Amino acid sequence: MKRIKTMGLALVAIMAIGVVLAGSASASTILTFRDSSGPLANGTEIKASSSNLVTVTTSGTLECENSIISATTTNNKSSKLLSLSEKDEEFGKFLEIPGACKTSIGAPVEIVTSKFPWKLEFKASGAAGTNYVKSGVTKGKVTFTSEFLVPELGEKNKCEFEAAKITSSFNAGAPGKPVPLAFTTTNQIFKLNAKFPNTASICPKEGKLSGNWTVSDAVGTVEVE
């Protein structure tokens, strides 16, 4: 009986340790954004930039040479860092047309983004982090509208694509060992809003967006730990 009781107590202890370890594994990491001058003050403007943004569709690809999301930090040193964006720019100079992005069908496209403000959320468990971009508009979605700069299409020359959120991944440095803040988006699906006015007949039903982003502020590179 004593042996059974002892084994029972040992089992309880093992289960308790398991609960503690499980809780530790799922606990979120306290993140801090910083630059060369130190931790970022709340209200700091940051910019996430990509030079290889590509959207793949059944109709071909859309590429923008530049993509810049401007945002303002709100709660540095937190388990879920937040920033708000009122501006996202997607542009290139395809066929020497200022602002035009490139398509594989040879048609220049102008991109307009909407449903602002966008919310940027960063959270991590250890070094592995996830970044979300969501629309702050009630029931809103992250929205991109592509307008083909092709006179032959007439007024029916637009495609509007939406996603509930953009999900990306990033790495966080250990405390005291920050690393440059950079995140990667891979095959994020955007769905066509077929009810959007002047939707072109050539619009695909969905697109998969991918790109790599680096983050900076007025001082320079933004790091995370």
* Domain carrying residue 80: 29-224
Summarize pLDDT for 169-221 with one digit per residue, the tens: 999 999 999 999 999 999 999 999 999 999 999 999 999 999 999 999 999 99
For 58-108, what is each residue's pLDDT tens digit? 999 999 999 999 999 999 999 999 999 999 999 999 999 999 999 999 999
What distance in Å separates the CA atoms of residue 172 and residue 63, rounded to the nearest whole number? 28
Q: Which of residues 221 and 8 earns the better pLDDT score?
A: 221
Residue 28 — very low, low, confident or very high, per pLDDT cuts 50/70/90?
Answer: confident
Residue 12 forms part of a structural domain: no
* Residue 149, in any domain of the structure: yes
Is the pLDDT confidence value at 12 over 50? no
Is residue 130's pLDDT more than 50?
Answer: yes
Answer whether residue 23 is part of any domain: no
What pLDDT shows up at residue 27? 67
Q: How many structural domains does the chain have?
A: 1
Q: Let me know: does 63 contact 53? Beta carbons within 8 Å.
A: yes
Residue 6: inside a domain, yes or no? no
Would residue 97 count as lying in a domain? yes
Comparison of pLDDT for 25 and 217, the residue scoring more = 217
* Contact residues for 90 (Cβ-Cβ < 8 A; gap 6+): 53, 64, 66, 67, 101, 111, 113, 144
Q: Is residue 9 part of a domain?
A: no
pLDDT for 26 equals: 46
